[in-house]
Amino acid sequence: MKQAVHDLNQGPVVRQLLQQILPLTLGLLLMLLFGVADAWFAGRLGAEAQAALATGSTVFYLLVALAYGYSQSTAVFLGQAHAAGQVAQLRPQLVQALLGALSVGCVLGALAAIGLEGLLQLLGGGGGMAHRYLKTLLPAVPLFYLLMVLYGAFNGLGLAVLFSRIMLASFGLGLLCNAWLFLWSGWAPGLVGLAWTTLLVQSVALLWGGYLLWRRLPPSGVGMWQLQPALLGPWFKLGTLAGLTFLFIAGGTYVLFVFIQPWGAVAQASALLVLRLEQLWSMPVIALGYAVLGMVAQAQGAGLPERVREVWRSGLWIGMPLSLLFAAALYGLAPALCAGFTTEPAVLAQAIQGVRIMCWCALGYVLMLVSGQALQGLQRPLCNFLGGLSRHLLLQPLLFWWATQHVASSTSLWWSILLAALLVGACMVLVAWRQLPGRASRQPVMAT
């Protein structure tokens, strides 16, 4: 057995955070680039294929949104068990997470298969190419849930570098497979070919990652492949609440486009461009939140309340100045970045305005993610849940409505998003400051 589980409680907090951020960012970025590469190959098939891929990707994201929550839940419980010295629990806890994720993924995949046509029609893309693509891709739903559990396990055990290498190799394999299918083989598989590649790459990454992780965990007793409610129940509760936060994000995007429709096709096109760029620049901030989650989980497991607070505080001190510097750079680079995605003058002008406002959201994202993930690492997901709910489905829609009534420009919607991010971020910092241990007590951290 190769012993390579990383103790995140050793060494300075800032150094540990910085060492985790880069591989976590790479892993998240590669997940995003899978979709970018698919869009490039779909572009060679024409506008209909691009539209079908966009519709199919939207449905797939809705189906797998909960997987991100179960990934975080896995990181928390494995990190706590490892730091507490309960090494015999690592394999059983991982098995329960895999069984739970597989069950959820299979149920959602089966329900989607039954109601696939209705789902597509709700999004205005029913029938034909989109139907064939998603029908082929649906087996990837449980695979994605399993893969995200592995991602959480690597994060919680301090092995983010290893997972980023797996994702890099998988991304290369996907590019080679798609290049062969669409450029060299002479076949014409259409979007179904992209689904085949996704299934192959996810299967390889899952098997490879599972093997590398399993051999690093100490052996355990018999019976661990049976369902164990004592382990599965808390994991499922924490992961579901965390996953619902990602569904709120999808709901918030839908609400944005509902309010932006009256400003016409140019405003909608520019909004899509701004959101695509936001996905890219938010990756380091999301990775910072994941790093805080893993380190807090291990600090809690080891009974180090002062280190829990130090991780949170260090995450804020790292993230806030870097987010402001990053935002200033994006403000200046906005024209060049937007020009790389569109040549339409009207769309370009509105997109530049949107990027120059949205880039400052990075500060709000740091406040929200660092504070929310710190509490999540203590098995307290309610702050993240209520923060996502209030921001995406309450505060932003109210600000959107006010903007549409009193402002004559779609730019007001971006100001609304910025204001909501800063307000919710400040509230979550206050909640974390009050709830995180380590202010006066030196007693071991207790989950609630």
Report how far apart, in Å, the C-alpha atoms of 428 and of each of 96, 206, 365 are.
Answer: 31, 35, 11
Question: Which amino acid would we find at residue 26?
Answer: L
For residues 87 and 249, give the distance between their C-alpha atoms in angstroms, rounded to a whole number: 36
For residues 27 and 21, give the distance between their C-alpha atoms in angstroms, rounded to a whole number: 10
Confidence of residue 447 (pLDDT cuts 50, 70, 90): very low
In the chain, where the domains are located: 13-435
Q: Is the pLDDT of residue 1 over 60?
A: no
Give the pLDDT score at 368. 96
**Residue scoring higher pLDDT (3 or 243):** 243
Which tens digits make up the pLDDT trace of 355-398? 999 999 999 999 999 999 999 999 999 999 999 999 999 999 99
User: If you average pLDDT over every residue of the chain, what do you get?
Assistant: 88
Which tens digits make up the pLDDT trace of 292-333? 999 999 999 999 999 999 999 999 999 999 999 989 999 999
Question: Which amino acid would we find at residue 430?
Answer: L
Full-model pTM: 0.87
Confidence of residue 123 (pLDDT cuts 50, 70, 90): low
Give the pLDDT score at 442. 43
Mean pLDDT in residue range 171-200: 89
Q: Is the pLDDT of residue 111 over 80?
A: yes
Residue in the structure block whose two tokens are 């020009």? 339
